[in-house]
Structure 1
Amino acid sequence: MNEEPGLVEAAELFKVLSSASRLGLLRRIEEQSRTVSALAEAMGMSQPLTSQHLRSLRQAGLVKTSRSGKEIVYHLADLHVSHVVADALAHVREPRVAEPGDLIATEERP
């Protein structure tokens, strides 16, 4: 199969982004760079679970870290990350009329 360059990598990226928790973490980090404990509190998740999600995001190159004293602070790797998430959210928030054969349909919202 002759695939377009980057398709496999893009599929892996979307796999990492398939978690609502990870998308939420990216949105919080976009608002402000934060520590694991601040992110866990903002998301209402345990610190170990937050760390696990952040590890996945870091391995995918979506977030970077810096050290502030004894704490590690998480930042978005670049603006592409926020654009991908914002575009996905804008897409799913658009009103959509169901067509025969649709797997997912949303009703128009007032």
Structure 2
Amino acid sequence: MVTEKIVDDEKRIDRAAYVLKAVAHPLRIKIIHMLNENEELNVSAIYKNLNAEQSLISHHLINMRDKGILDIRRSGKNIYYFLIDKAVANIIHCIYESKLM
């Protein structure tokens, strides 16, 4: 039925808007790019590479994890972050390469 499809599409559109809002920050876009290039990284590698405060990077990582964009893998005392779905990185890449830039 058409109504069910519209409702399903609305849920998908709402999720897309939620994800785009969650990554709409220059540091978050840089983190996503780094994780897309490196599969997984720990907080130290990320904040050193971005020349940013560790607490600020941790805040962004936790926020993106809470929103389902990133996840973690523990190895001893280290926590490694990785992208759950590469689609987010692909979207950012498409925008970066578009005529909008």
Normalised to the residue count of structure 1, the TM-score between the two structures is: 0.76
Q: What amino acid sits opposite 1:10 in the alignment?
A: A
**Structure (1 or 2) with the greater helix fraction:** 2
1:90 maps to 97
Distance 2:37 2:16 in 1: 24
Identity of aligned residues (%): 27
Specify the structure having the higher radius of gyration (Cα).
1
Question: Which runs of no fewer than 5 residues in structure 2 stay unpaired?
Answer: 1-5
Question: Which runs of no fewer than 5 residues in structure 1 stay unpaired?
Answer: 97-105
The correspondence for 2:60, drawn from 36, 53, 59, is 53
1:28 maps to 34
Q: What amino acid sits opposite 2:49 in the alignment?
A: A
Q: Using CA pairs below 8 Å that are at least 6 residues apart, which structure has the higher relative contact order?
A: 2
Normalised to the residue count of structure 2, the TM-score between the two structures is: 0.82
Distance 2:95 2:83 in 1: 17
| 1:81 CA displacement | 2.1
The correspondence for 2:17, drawn from 11, 15, 21, is 11
List 4+ stretches of structure 1 deviating above 4 A. none
CA-based RMSD: 1.7
1:41 maps to 48
